[in-house]
Structure 1
Amino acid sequence: MKTKTLIRTLVIMTIIMVATSFYYLPFYVTKPGGAHELDPIVEVKNGYEDEGELMLTTVRMGRANIYAYLMASLKKYEYIFPVEEIRSPHESDEEYNLRQLHLMADSQNHAIEVAFKKAGKFYEYTYKGIYVLNIYPSMPAEEVLMPGDRITAVDGNTFQSSEEFIEYVSKKKSGDSVKITYVRDKEEMVETISLEAFPDMPDKVGLGITLSDDKEIKTDPPVKLDTEEIGGPSAGLMFSLEIYNQLTKDDITKGHSIAGTGTISENGEVGRIGGIEQKVIAADKAGAEYFLAPHENITKEMKEKYPELESNYTAAKRTAEDIGTDMKVIPVKSFDEALAFLQTLAK
């Protein structure tokens, strides 16, 4: 009888544990991810080989169930964030993932542009339209458009930037309609959508979408990046360095293992990213000798508003000291600064 009771109790407990593991709390948990060599990810046609390796670093992130929440509460470099600190207002999980993938695409374009410009190689952009990132609830676009749609024309007019699109729509008033030409799953469609004032911004009239430019970059030689499901813009700096290294004869790695992170703008500025401490840990576990960290300027105004705010480099250096790594953390503010450091390395 006792054996049967024990078995029944264990079965019930197992069912409860399985059931609760699928119940997600309104939080995200982040933890150290991995460091990925860029050679298999980035391919410049007929590009030069390197003796060392450049690596991008990632953070693992997911919605928290009760067990993930409790584990993160106990571990030093696992962090818990409320959903509203990760996703934009009115943004679903699907829209968040799409936004991250689009940010990755933009990051790749910027990285290619910076590298090709520095190497003196040919590149050009083709404008493809307006990329729909999010749909505001209860706005007219909700009935027609979906995240991931690409708007190619409005009332028959094509645009060369999202700014031109916004300027055109802003001249309309509530109750007006526009004819939207858009592409979904390679199929072109045309629908008429009315314009309304935003519920939380009554002075602003629109369709109810968050948008971004959708551009394609063409280069000579061609570049292929196999990023699969890696999202977000934080690999921009390392992409640009890898592309440049394959474009030029001199190997900037000089046989060293170099990890890093940071966004990259069209003009080569390196920007702040999230999860810097966790990326330092990922790079250390992968055996990196150097870690390139954004050293963005923290203005007086920013410090007054967020007294505890510090640069990525400051946080990365502190983390490296805390975990006792021999890996050197290098502050960088631009692509040129990162390249200048790498050129000082001995073979």
Structure 2
Amino acid sequence: MNRKTSIGLSILGAILLMASAFYYLPYYVTKPGMAKELEPIVEVEDGYDEEGNFMLTTVRMGRANIYAYIIAKFSKYQELYPVEEIRAENESDEEYNIRQLHMMDNSKTAAIEVAYEKAGKQVDYTYKGVYVLRTMEGMPADGKLMPGDLVFKVDGNPFNSSEEFIKYISSKKPGDIVELDYKRNGKANKVQIPLKELDDGSNRPVVGIQLVDDKEIEVEPDVTVQSDEIGGPSAGLMFSLEIYNQLNEEDLTKGYQIAGTGTMSPDGTIGRIGGIQQKVVAADKAGAEIFLAPFEKGVKGSNYEEALIAAKDIKTKMKIVPVDTFDEAVSYLENLKEKSR
């Protein structure tokens, strides 16, 4: 092989190598993310300081190329998921990201509500409308509304919940036209949409959007939660604890580094999350001493059980604590002994 041919083959190989890095397989790969201190993220106006820290834990996730797929196959705490297990049918990456960020917003709202009510503070809401998470392919709203749009009137009438909106649409007939007032990027618009019968045998007319209520919580003192680009609802428990801790003079951290995870419902129930073992790994690397995990009332294969398995495997000294409710988490922390210095 002459030198010219050798150089040509090397260049071709390099091009193919680079191209394969940008070829994505129909999988997502997840791996341990970070454990991030919450005090710089959460700020209650004139709130109390803490000796230790509450930390949220994350999982890193992205589309898998050939190399990421191979690495994940041979890595203990990396997981592969088919695209259809992560995204809804026909859901785009943009729609998925918007849905995750809005789930985070709902998580923050629930966390604020639970923490303020536990602290005996007044909680009020301002209803803004229904938030479009995604449009259904082939349905009336497809191409007319977009993920992130905020619908606040139907046929000129405001409504006070997604239930009211759905009830009004359901009172119409397939083929009827409704006019929706909505905001996109802060600008108000109107659109007329012919209703279509839902293909489930119910004969129910629909617009064809996946939606959630969009409401703004009002509390005193004011609270700010800067979650940036973190998506999903799994930080709800830790947001609640950080907010409640800043509202109360007694420091629940007792000087410890406390990580954890779990969704938070407005009634204070802590829910299951994904990637618990990867979050245990992330918390251990960040030096957490306590990890709060959803107990799920002790069901087989609970987040708590999975967290214990990972903790034993990585030989961490971090204590794994099972919790089902916000009150249980607070009670555990209230009974902790102060960390010796």
Q: TM-score range by the shorter chain?
A: over 0.9
Shift of 1:4: 4.1
CA distance in 2, matches of 1:83, 1:262: 23
Structure 2 unaligned blocks of 5 or more: none
Give the one of 315, 319, 339 matched to 1:324: 315
SS of structure 2 residue aligned to 1:89: coil
Shift of 1:218: 1.3
Shift of 1:298: 6.7
Q: Does 1:294 align with 2:294?
A: yes
> 2:328 aligns to what?
337
Q: Does 1:13 align with 2:13?
A: yes
Contact 2:174–2:204 (Cα < 8 Å) also in 1: no
The alignment's TM-score, normalised by the length of structure 2, stands at 0.96
Contact 2:291–2:321 (Cα < 8 Å) also in 1: yes
Q: Residue by residue, what CA displacement relative to the aligned partner does 1:142-199 show, whole Å, maximum 9, x if unpaired? A: 1310000000010112111111111111121211110101011111111110001234
> 1:281 aligns to what?
281
> 2:62 aligns to what?
62
> 1:181 aligns to what?
181
Q: Residue by residue, what CA displacement relative to the aligned partner does 1:32-65 show, whole Å, maximum 9, x if unpaired? A: 1000000111011111100000000000000111
CA distance in 2, matches of 1:7, 1:50: 62
CA distance in 2, matches of 1:51, 1:6: 63
Give runs of aligned pairs for residues 61-210 of structure 1, distance below 5 A: 61-199=61-199, 203-210=203-210
Letter in 2 for 1:261: T
Structure 1 unaligned blocks of 5 or more: 300-308
> 1:233 aligns to what?
233
SS of structure 2 residue aligned to 1:141: coil
The alignment's TM-score, normalised by the length of structure 1, stands at 0.94
> 2:40 aligns to what?
40
Moved more, 282-291 or 1-10: 1-10
Shift of 1:11: 1.9
CA distance in 2, matches of 1:15, 1:78: 28
Q: Residue by residue, what CA displacement relative to the aligned partner does 1:66-114 show, whole Å, maximum 9, x if unpaired? A: 1111111111111110111001122111000000000000000000000
SS of structure 1 residue aligned to 2:157: coil
CA distance in 2, matches of 1:118, 1:6: 72
Alignment length, in residue pairs? Answer: 338
> 1:303 aligns to what?
none
1:95–1:330 distance in 2 versus 1, CA, 3 Å: same
Letter in 2 for 1:62: G
SS of structure 2 residue aligned to 1:15: helix
CA distance in 1, matches of 2:286, 2:207: 47
Letter in 1 for 2:322: P
Shift of 1:25: 1.0
Root mean square deviation, CA, Å: 1.4
> 1:50 aligns to what?
50
Shift of 1:122: 2.5
SS of structure 2 residue aligned to 1:143: coil
> 1:219 aligns to what?
219
1:167–1:298 distance in 2 versus 1, CA, 3 Å: farther
Moved more, 145-154 or 84-93: 84-93
Letter in 2 for 1:256: Y
Shift of 1:8: 2.8
Moved more, 122-131 or 201-210: 201-210
> 2:301 aligns to what?
310
CA distance in 1, matches of 2:200, 2:83: 20
Identity fraction in percent: 58
Shift of 1:120: 1.1
Shift of 1:140: 1.1
Letter in 2 for 1:41: I
SS of structure 2 residue aligned to 1:140: coil
CA distance in 2, matches of 1:204, 1:14: 56
Q: Residue by residue, what CA displacement relative to the aligned partner does 1:308-332 show, whole Å, maximum 9, x if unpaired? A: x611001001110111111010000
Shift of 1:6: 3.8
